[in-house]
Structure 1
Amino acid sequence: MRVKSERRRQAIVAAAAEVFLERGYEIASMAEIAERSGGSKATLYSYFSSKEALFLVVMKQQAEEYMVEAFGRLSPGGDLAATLQKFGEHYLNAILLPELLIMRSIVMGEGPRSGMGRVFFDSGPAQGWGQLAQFLEGEMAAGRLRPAKPWRAALHLINLLEADFLEFFMTGFEQKPAAEQIVESAREAVRMYLHGYSPAPLPCAADV
């Protein structure tokens, strides 16, 4: 793709992000996005076949921008508790950003009515959680975590990290939780996780 064409595409994506965040998915129009990007609807449709296709690009770009650093904290071979703590803090700081909360709510609302949820999951969370699963599998092989299904182990950690903020996700409080609350929530989630996945056998623990 030529530089000029890529610049135009990025201008459209940036304008679309603004419109989706301000208006939501249903009310957002391709006409307004075209106007804000400084082009025509015909130009917009030459890059993106539909509003859904454009939204998925915006969502993926937003997620990558904020989540890459979090999953990049997963360095094998170091202090496992410290690594998971840093990961947890960066993960929570990213998913609690207003931009990602809005995008998440749009996907949850539109997903059941279309294939948007599946496409978003496959191109976003599934990739990041896959990295986490791969990291945890390495820690299991090294004997620092008990053997388990890596994907399930990744989901357990993600859900523990998000547990304190379920109401926040559902109600969309205007104020992001304080930094101290995020650190404490991550610490407690990691503590519970390492207890559950301790390599030492736990009484009555089900074999996964």
Structure 2
Amino acid sequence: MKVRTEAKREAIIEAAATLFQESGYEGASMNELAKRLRGSKATLYGYFPSKEELFSAVVRSFATDHLAEATQELPATVKDKAELKAALLHFAEQILLVLTNDTKAIAINRMVIAEAGRSDVGELFHQSGPDECIAALTRLLQKSMSLGLLQRGDAGVSARQLLALITAETNARMYQRHTTPIALPAIRRMCKRAVEMFLAGSAPQKDAG
């Protein structure tokens, strides 16, 4: 009986990431991956029962781990506006550091965009990180609304609006052939603009009269 190892699993994910980038989700095959690893499909399926599960592992490893980390560090609640702003700034910085400077994450995101109209790759991508991130952010914003720190409304919509603001200044990089890293001070300025705009637009409205 062959023993599964974490090192072997990581080697499969690494090779699969390269294959997905080169061939796209639909074009990548377990046969080709087995050839590249000089192994068998049976071994691959022993670690990942389907291409969908393998893709999800690649996404988590290279493109959405930062979301998981950012999500885990979001507090369940905050006591005041200053604490909420600090939590959102930290959250935004963690996201942008990866989306602007991690070449592997950028490549996976580009592949997802290219394939989304031809397969279920977009849904698989969101299920492998973004959905969990949005859910956690929604809970924090909902709690902040109940405490009167934010204007009451649909917290899920607010979470998506915040994420859109965080990435607004860097989205174009996904479509550029050559990009250069963005320094931390510049990333922090982008985060500050995004979070401050969100908080200004979400501030509780004063009671009329």
TM-score range, shorter chain: 0.7 to 0.9
In the other structure, the counterpart of 2:97 is 93
Among the aligned pairs, what percent are the same residue?
32
For residues 5-154 of structure 1, the aligned pairs below 5 Å read 5-7=4-6, 8-21=8-21, 23-25=22-24, 30-31=30-31, 33-48=33-48, 51-75=51-75, 76-78=77-79, 79-96=83-100, 97-154=102-159
C-alpha deviation, 1:54, in angstroms: 2.2
In the other structure, the counterpart of 2:171 is 166
Are the counterparts in 2 of residues 24 and 106 from structure 1 also a CA contact under 8 Å? no
* Deviates most, 54-63 or 86-95: 54-63
Normalising by structure 2, what TM-score?
0.82
Structure-1 separation of matches of 2:56 and 2:159: 24
Structure-2 separation of matches of 1:140 and 1:123: 28
CA displacement, residues 108-139 of structure 1 (integer Å, 9 cap, x when unaligned): 11121111111221232111111111111111
C-alpha deviation, 1:141, in angstroms: 0.9
Which runs of 5 or more structure 2 residues have no equivalent in the other structure? none
Are the counterparts in 1 of residues 142 and 155 from structure 2 also a CA contact under 8 Å? yes
C-alpha deviation, 1:191, in angstroms: 0.8
C-alpha deviation, 1:69, in angstroms: 2.2
CA displacement, residues 15-51 of structure 1 (integer Å, 9 cap, x when unaligned): 2234445x35266554553345452234224444554
Equivalenced residue count is 201
Structure-2 separation of matches of 1:51 and 1:137: 36
Are the counterparts in 2 of residues 74 and 132 from structure 1 also a CA contact under 8 Å? yes
C-alpha deviation, 1:153, in angstroms: 0.4
Structure-1 separation of matches of 2:140 and 2:177: 31
Structure-2 separation of matches of 1:47 and 1:167: 36
Structure-2 separation of matches of 1:69 and 1:46: 28
Structure 1 moving runs of 4+ over 6 Å: none
What one-letter code is carried by the residue in structure 2 that aligns with 1:131? A
CA displacement, residues 152-207 of structure 1 (integer Å, 9 cap, x when unaligned): 0001100001111121122153312221211000000011001000013499xxxx
Are the counterparts in 1 of residues 13 and 57 from structure 2 also a CA contact under 8 Å? yes
Which runs of 5 or more structure 1 residues have no equivalent in the other structure? 204-208
Aligned CA-pair RMSD: 2.7
Normalising by structure 1, what TM-score?
0.83
Corresponding residue SS for 2:196: helix
Corresponding residue SS for 1:164: coil
